[in-house]
A and B are shown apart, each in its own frame.
Chain A
């Protein structure tokens, strides 16, 4: 990849951030949360897209961004009101801009007229605003990329400063230095010399105030100058000459306009900032300017009124987004590091094993060093993982547009609220989150939120709200999609499930269980297959996708109140903290994040109530037990619960489960290797890892263990995976 190609990619990454900024900003403005800063930020983002697109030569993008930017500029300057209609057009424009960026990125040509409709809508906004010329001509008319007709004269640096060369102008100048000016080491002579450089200068010195030599104070000002300057330069240039002394002198600059032109414009800020001419201090120049012995340091750069007025505006807009130092690194490189860290963790575990087998007198120092290594490896792992982490924002940002399009299609009024976009998750999870989340949101709009009429009838506001949130909870990431729609119709779901034979006709289910039937394969409640969802891809696929990335999905629904779907996801798919346990001859790993406590139960704690596994009385609560030895058919596992150790784990939805194992072997970081990729899905097993002794251990899928165990009680259909077959790390 050439350097330019790399930079182009960087530009597109910047674009997705900028587009996001535009969309979020516009949404905020629409929802009344926008401030002036928001408008500025949106404008600047659109401008940046245009600027970058310009550098990389994406013509269509530049032209569209220009029109977009012009409307935003009108919004920014308050000449266009942020009405609902305007925001609909602007949000549409942000979608088109995003499409154009995508096309530019993929190298696909933009279909002719693709942005026409939106562009005309934007132009109409400007035209209605009486400011049409700027945008409609804008980018297109200056195809040569030059601004002909501006009195712009590029000049050599050593001859700096002249941009206006539009014929000679005449300025009358009155300059009366005050003593303060000299005390600040500003020399009138130099100023006059500078002034003379601007053109032909005729000055008269008024020496009337000059005292006798014996009374003369060398550091006082006694002389005034008046005269005319004929120059091709503008007022600006003249003011610049005086700009360091403007507070310490009386200055008048009046342009003598040719006959027939309007009266002089109001005095400039510069002249205004000079004190009134009628100042009581008699302006007197020094007798000998060169002898002016003031050693005071030069005055600081005076804050010019014009700049002072501009600065807060720009500064405030920027304050909303603190600049962060970032470097862009190819993900492949990070992935390589992640893999190496994984191998390092394994190698370190093996080293630890060897150390433990050495005679004790040799090991103490070695163990000390090893502990250091373990500590650093852990930090290394955490740092690398955080590098891979991305904000869920990257997935969330696609959703507002989805909701907008869907609500337009279904004629529903839906607002999407988002929170926790900054929550970070491993990149691999993020990548695989987009499809399920899109599907869930489609469902929410299509099936969840009712039509405005139905909502009104139900006493709700016409606008439905879908809330998308993300956050950390108990070592996992929880993403929630909740809507305030009609909720799931339990009766209909139950009827359908029974019709399809998905559940027993006599089954008695709780409300939650009924709601969760929608996750069953072959279940689809949509009576008509709509254009949006219900295209044969059901919630079972969504659940499958989520489970594939180590997540779980739960659904809660209240008829008439809405539905909440919760995704619980692991932080990372590569490395985790695990408790190594022994069952028979085999080792298994229980994710530390799931473990509540470990205990050796007494006979009195155990009740053999349900099936064979029994339950545990734990401080008054009843915890179902799972015999891993029985479940997986492991030879040599302890038969009696009281001979083993019970690990209390928290499965999905806070349900607790006691896993019976022979012995605990210790806490260890394990590198997760996929079983699915090498063998297939094994219920109850989340993956495999290589332990320090080089042996393969399976990582338990605690959430699914309870289901598996439940099913096992009824039929012994669980596939008995042969470790020998599966012991191939990916």
Chain B
């Protein structure tokens, strides 16, 4: 069982409003330690420079997209096992397939409820308390 309050989660999305919505949802779940990145490049720098428990990333972003971030994370010696959840829109089936092939742990379809986000995180991290 993972303690939500002990998790350190990185949100990656180029839109401020979307990041804040995810932050809000995470806070509802009980996550206290939340980082944000606007693009994959910055997210990767953050991910390799500090201990993280989870990345929740959008796909389409400037600088480095979500798939490249996923690949970069999965190719890095120390963070390659970092849980990674992809944010996706409806109809982005091909993207989810591609992400699955690249080792994404789960995905969340927008829009989502807090319960769905929690469920998806729990599928990856184990039951949250």
Cβ-defined contact, A57 with B111, below 8 A: yes
* Nearest chain B CB to A248 CB, angstrom units: 14
Q: Residue A154 contacts which of B24, B39, B123 (CB distance < 8 angstroms)? A: B123
Cross-chain contact of B124 among A8, A147, A151, A157 (Cβ < 8 A): A157
A299-307, A479-487, A629-637 - the one binding chain B: A299-307
- A619 in the interface (beta carbon within 8 A): no
CB of B93 within 8 A of CB of A150, answer yes
B15 interface contact, C-beta 8 A: yes
Decide: A150 and B120 in contact? CB cutoff 8 A. no
| Residues in chain B near residue A302, CB distance under 8 A | 75
Q: Are B64 and A314 in contact (CB under 8 A)?
A: yes
Whether B10 is near chain A, meaning CB under 8 Å from some CB there, is: no
Report chain A residues within 8 Å CB of B50: none
Q: Are A52 and B18 in contact (CB under 8 A)?
A: yes
Shortest Cβ distance from residue B69 to the other chain A in the assembled complex, whole angstroms: 9
Q: Is A154 a contact of B101 with CB atoms below 8 Å?
A: no
By the criterion CB–CB under 8 Å, are A314 and B103 in contact?
A: no
**A264-302 Cβ-contact flags toward B at 8 Å (1 or 0):** 000000000000000000000000000000000010011
Question: How does the 8 Å CB contact mask read for B109-129 relative to A, with 1 for contact and 0 for none?
Answer: 111100000001001111000
Contact A10 to B91, CB < 8 A, known contacts A4-B24, A244-B77? no
- Complex interface residues of chain B between 53 and 105 (CB less than 8 A to chain A): 54, 58, 60-65, 67-68, 71-72, 74-77, 80-81, 83, 87, 89-91, 93-94, 96-97, 99-105
Q: Does A55 contact B (CB under 8 A)?
A: yes
- Nearest-neighbour CB distance to chain A for B23, whole angstroms, equals 9
Q: With A154-B124, A310-B65 in contact, do A139 and B39 touch (Cβ < 8 Å)?
A: no
B24 touches A164 (CB 8 A): no
* A240 in contact with B103 (CB, 8 Å): yes
Q: Interface digits, A148-169 against B, CB 8 Å rule (1 contact, 0 not)?
A: 0011101111101101100000
Nearest chain A residue, comparing its CB with the CB of B40: A314
Complex-state Cα separation, A156 to B54, whole angstroms: 12
- For B81, the closest partner residue in chain A by CB is A160
Tell yes or no: B1 within 8 A of A by CB: no
Q: Which of A52, A154, A163 contacts B120 (CB 8 A)?
A: A154
Cβ contacts under 8 Å, B36 to chain A: none
Selected from B38, B96, B110, the residue in CB contact (under 8 A) with A55 is B110
B106 CB within 8 Å of chain A: yes
* Residues of B contacting A145 in the complex (Cβ-Cβ under 8 angstroms): 90, 109, 112
Q: Which of A43-51, A653-661, A710-718 contacts B (4 or more CB under 8 A)?
A: A43-51
Residues of A contacting B110 in the complex (Cβ-Cβ under 8 angstroms): 51, 54-55
CB-CB under 8 A from A50, the residues of chain B are: 89
The CA-CA distance from A137 to B20 in the complex, in Å, is 30
Per-position binary interface string of chain A over residues 290-332, scored 1 when its CB falls under 8 Å from any chain B CB and 0 otherwise: 0000000010011010110011001101100101000010000
Give Cα A150 to B58, complex, Å: 19
Using known A-B contacts A55-B18, A307-B72, A314-B68, determine if residue A236 contacts B91 with beta carbons closer than 8 Å: no
Bound form: Cα–Cα A52–B106 in Å:
20
* A154 near B75: Cβ-Cβ < 8 Å: no
Query: Is A62 interfacial (CB 8 A cutoff)?
Result: yes
Given known pairs A47-B60, A55-B17, A160-B83, the reply for A152 and B100 (CB within 8 Å) is yes
For the complex, give the distance between the alpha carbons of A62 and B90 in Å.
8
Contacts of B112 in A (CB 8 A): 55, 145
What B residues does A134 contact at CB under 8 A? Answer: 91, 94
Pairwise interchain contact A4-B101, C-beta atoms closer than 8 A: no
Chain A contributes a number of interface residues (CB within 8 A of B) equal to: 64
**In angstroms, how far is the closest chain A Cβ from the Cβ of B86?**
10
Interface centre among A7, A155, A157, A315 (most CB of B within 10 A): A157
A321 and B62 form a contact (CB under 8 A):
yes
Q: Output the nearest chain B residue to A143 by Cβ-Cβ distance.
A: B90
Residues of B within 8 A of A240 (CB): 74-75, 80, 103
A3 at the interface (CB under 8 A from B): yes
Give the distance to chain A from B79, nearest Cβ to Cβ, in Å.
9
Majority secondary structure of chain A interface residues (helix, strand, loop or mixed): helix
The reply on A14 being an interface residue by CB < 8 A is: yes
For B15, B99, B102, which residue has the most chain A Cβ atoms within 10 angstroms? B15
- B107: chain A residues at CB < 8 Å are 147, 152
Chain B residues whose CB sits within 8 angstroms of the CB of A11 once the complex forms: 15, 17-18
Q: How far is the CA of A47 from the CA of B87 in the complex (A)?
A: 12
Interface residues of A in 54-84 (CB under 8 A from B): 54-57, 62, 66
A146 within 8 A of B: yes
Whether the pair B68, A311 counts as a contact (CB closer than 8 A) is yes
B60:A310 contact, CB within 8 angstroms: no
Contacts of A151 on B, CB cut-off 8 Å? 100
Docked pose: A353 CA to B72 CA in angstroms: 66
| Residue interface bits A236-277, CB-to-B below 8 A is 1, else 0 | 110010011000000000000000000000000000000000
Say yes or no: A51 contacts B58, CB within 8 Å: yes
Rounded to whole angstroms, the CA-CA distance of A161 and B20 in the bound complex is 28
Residue A234 lies at the interface, judged by CB distance under 8 Å to chain B? yes
Tell me the residues in window 405-419 of chain A with beta carbons closer than 8 Å to chain B beta carbons: none
**Is B77 a contact partner of A298 (Cβ separation < 8 A)?**
yes
Contact call A142/B60, Cβ cutoff below 8 A: no
Which residues of chain A have C-beta atoms less than 8 A from B65's C-beta? 310, 314
- A301 touching B24 by the CB < 8 A rule? no
Q: Is A7's CB under 8 angstroms from B13's CB?
A: no
Closest CB of chain B to A463's CB: distance in Å? 34
A138 CB-CB contact with B under 8 Å = yes
Find the A residue at minimum CB distance from B103.
Answer: A161
Per the 8 Å Cβ criterion, residues 16-59 of A in contact with B are 43-44, 47-48, 50-52, 54-57
Nearest chain A CB to B4's CB is how many angstroms away?
A: 14
- Return chain B residues, CB-CB under 8 Å to A306: 71
By the criterion CB–CB under 8 Å, are B91 and A51 in contact? Answer: no
Most buried by B among A56, A146, A318: A318
Expressed in whole angstroms, the Cα–Cα distance for A157 and B125 within the complex equals: 6
B39, B68, B97: the one within 8 Å of A310 (CB): B68
Q: Is there contact, CB below 8 Å, between A236 and B81? A: no
A14 near B17: Cβ-Cβ < 8 Å:
yes
A163 touches B21 (CB 8 A): no
Residues of A within 8 A of B13 (CB): 51
CA distance A244 to B67 in the complex (A): 20
Q: Would B38 and A150 count as touching, CB distance under 8 A?
A: no
User: What CA separation (Å) do A132 and B67 show in the bound complex?
Assistant: 25
Partner of B96, one of A147, A243, A310, A321: A147
Residues on A with beta carbons closer than 8 Å to the beta carbon of B40: 314
- Chain A residues whose C-beta falls within 8 Å of the C-beta of B89 in the assembled complex: 47, 50-51, 54, 62, 66, 139
Cα distance A160–B103 in the bound complex, in angstroms: 8
Give the residues from 328 to 352 in chain A that come closer than 8 angstroms, CB to CB, to chain B: 328
Interchain residue pairs with CB less than 8 A apart (10):
A10-B20, A14-B17, A55-B22, A146-B109, A156-B125, A158-B126, A301-B77, A314-B64, A317-B62, A323-B62
Q: Which B residues lie at the A interface, using CB under 8 A? A: 13-18, 20-22, 24, 38-41, 54, 58, 60-65, 67-68, 71-72, 74-77, 80-81, 83, 87, 89-91, 93-94, 96-97, 99-107, 109-112, 120, 123-126
Chain A contact residues, CB within 8 Å of chain B: 3-4, 7-8, 10-11, 14, 43-44, 47-48, 50-52, 54-57, 62, 66, 134, 137-143, 145-147, 150-152, 154-158, 160-161, 163-164, 234, 236-237, 240, 243-244, 298, 301-302, 304, 306-307, 310-311, 314-315, 317-318, 321, 323, 328
Not counting A11-B18, A150-B97, a sample of 12 additional A-B residue pairs whose C-beta atoms are within 8 angstroms of each other reads: A10-B16, A55-B21, A55-B22, A150-B93, A151-B100, A154-B123, A155-B105, A157-B81, A160-B103, A304-B71, A306-B71, A318-B62
